[in-house]
Amino acid sequence: MNGLKYFFIKHVWLSCLILASASSVMAAPGAHGPNGEHLADGPTTSMHQLGRQADGSVLMPMATQRQLQILTQFVQISMTAEYVQLDGIVRAHPSGQAVVQSSSNGRLDAGAKGIPLTGQVVKAGDVLGYIRYQDTAFELASQTSELIAVRTEAEQVVRDIQRLQQLGDLAVAQQLEQLKTTLQRLNLQEQVLQQGLEQPEVLLAPLTGIVHAENISRGQWVQAGETLFEIVDPTKLMIEARTVDPHLLTTIESATVEHDPRIILQLIGHAARLKQGQIPLYFEPLAPAELNATPLIIEQPLRLRAKLKQQQQGIVLPTQAVVRNSANLPVVWIKLSAERFLPQQVQYQVLAPDQVLITDGLGEDNRVVVQGASLLNQIR
């Protein structure tokens, strides 16, 4: 009887020991790969110390996890928008750019506030400078002679009008009216000639914006049609991007600037002609006021993230969940048990500055480290 009791107790004790050993290698829920393989299928008897193990996993006590604020979550496969990256450059909007040119030859002179500097803000209608005509001696003599002739003729007409007015009722009304018309024409002609000889051309700012002027100085000789000032409205800009994929012309929904996602861009259209073998795409900021926080400069290169209309499947994770291993490959850390973590190589796409989409290497319902992955990655 005692032998039978001893055999029964020993059998129960061995069974409990086997169950306890088996439970020590059982993984936490969701500890499997993208194809359903079990990620914890390996002996754990050699794991007698904390830190990095021979198989690349990490053992970390719960107390240390709380101290390092290691957080995990179960992941699910979901549908999200597809994105592409485009290289772009900032261009001036046609309605926010203007040039100031001289209409005739002359010398540049400053206004009351001086010649504006590059970067100075001006308002529409501000005087930027003057062009003072510099005719040759022959042209000046010719214009002066013509002005004298006009003035002499006008004086003669005035005398004729006075003579007719003295005749009273005997004066011919039609002849008097013709003389008055001639006098009016001569006065206007005199004003035009006088303005051409004495008054300079005024250079006015056509719109409010930032002045850009290079290699100009007071007194320099200016040719007719020469651009002296360029004014750009910083709140009216456009982005030019290029692509070789014609499919994107109808699938782009919107875009953002990579270094500042607050700048949301709307696709205006595309050019009808290739540029250097690529299709130019043109975007316009939806909220120009946002540009004050992060200004865009003309000819500044940008990286755009264009959101497409079609959807793609994957697992959305915080950006900090993806780290690089010693081979510089992207990995995420999966929690296999209460104190064991295993790195898993993945492929991903960037959705936003704080989100990535895992497209390969991670299975559904895995328990992934979403905070503190970089700390786990540093353990040796």
Token output for 377: 């990655």
Task: Please give the average per-residue pLDDT across 289-298, as a whole number.
Answer: 67
* Residues 90 and 238 occupy one common structural domain: yes
Which residues neighbour 354 within 8 Å (Cβ) at sequence distance 6 or greater?
318, 319
- Please indicate, yes or no, whether residues 187 and 205 belong to a single structural domain of this protein: no
Domain membership flag for residue 3: no
Whether 2 is covered by a domain: the verdict is no
For residues 177-204, give the mean pLDDT: 78
Residues 261 and 144 in one domain: no
| pLDDT given at position 17 | 32
Boundaries of domain holding 192: 137-198
Q: Which residue, of 249, 278, 309, is where some domain finishes?
A: 309
86: amino acid identity, one letter: L
Reference 325, options 272, 378, 289, 274; nearest CA is 378
Lowest mean pLDDT segment, chosen from 93-107, 178-192, 344-358:
178-192
Tens digits of residue pLDDT in 65-90: 999 999 999 998 888 888 888 999 99
Whether 8 is covered by a domain: the verdict is no
Distance CA 333, CA 198 (A): 82
Q: Is residue 11 part of a domain?
A: no
Which of 208, 213, 231 has its CA nearest to residue 118?
Answer: 213
pLDDT at residue 3, rounded to an integer = 47
Of 185, 215, 232, the residue at which a domain comes to its end is 232
Q: Are 283 and 206 part of one and the same domain? A: no
Alpha helices (runs of H) in the chain, residue ranges in sequence order: 2-25, 62-67, 137-166, 173-198, 248-251, 373-377
Torsion of CA 139, 182, 163, 174, to 10 degrees: 160
Predicted confidence (pLDDT) per residue in 28-44, tens digit: 444 555 555 555 544 44
Q: Would you say residue 6 lies in a domain?
A: no
For the CA atoms of 329, 335, 340, 342, what is the dihedral angle to 10 degrees? -20
One domain, residues 224 and 109 = yes
State the CATH number of the domain containing residue 297.
2.40.30.170
Q: What is the pLDDT of residue 44?
A: 43
Same domain flag for 263 and 221: no
Q: Please indicate, yes or no, whether residues 329 and 358 belong to a single structural domain of this protein.
A: yes
Q: Rounded to an integer, what distance in angstroms lies between the CA atom of residue 312 and that of residue 319? A: 18
Q: Residue 271: what pLDDT? A: 92
Q: State the chain's mean pLDDT as an integer.
A: 81
For 254-290, write each residue's pLDDT tens digit: 998 988 888 889 999 999 999 999 999 999 988 755 4
Do 183 and 205 fall into the same domain? no
Question: Do 141 and 185 share a domain, yes or no?
Answer: yes
Give the pLDDT confidence score for residue 262 in this predicted structure: 83
The answer to whether residue 7 is domain-embedded is no
Q: How many domains does the chain have?
A: 4
Asked whether residue 30 is assigned to any structural domain, the reply reads yes
Kindly state whether residue 111 falls inside one of the protein's structural domains. Answer: yes
Which of 124-133, 161-170, 248-257 is predicted least confidently? 161-170
Q: Which CATH number do you get for residue 348?
A: 2.40.420.20
Q: What is the CATH number of the domain that holds 112?
A: 2.40.50.100
Mark whether 286 and 273 lie in a shared domain. Answer: yes
Say yes or no: 262 and 146 in one domain.
no
Q: What is the pLDDT of residue 347?
A: 92
Confidence of residue 171 (pLDDT cuts 50, 70, 90): low
Q: What are the angstrom distances between the C-alpha of 132 and each of 106, 189, 200, 299?
A: 5, 20, 5, 34
Look up the pTM and report it.
0.60
Amino acid found at 203: L
Q: 3-class DSSP state for residue 285?
A: strand
pLDDT of residue 138: 61
Higher pLDDT, 46 or 50: 50
Closest by Cα among 171, 147, 301 to 239: 301
Q: Do 226 and 104 fall within a single domain? A: yes
Domain boundary among 150, 180, 198: 198
pLDDT at 334 over 90: yes
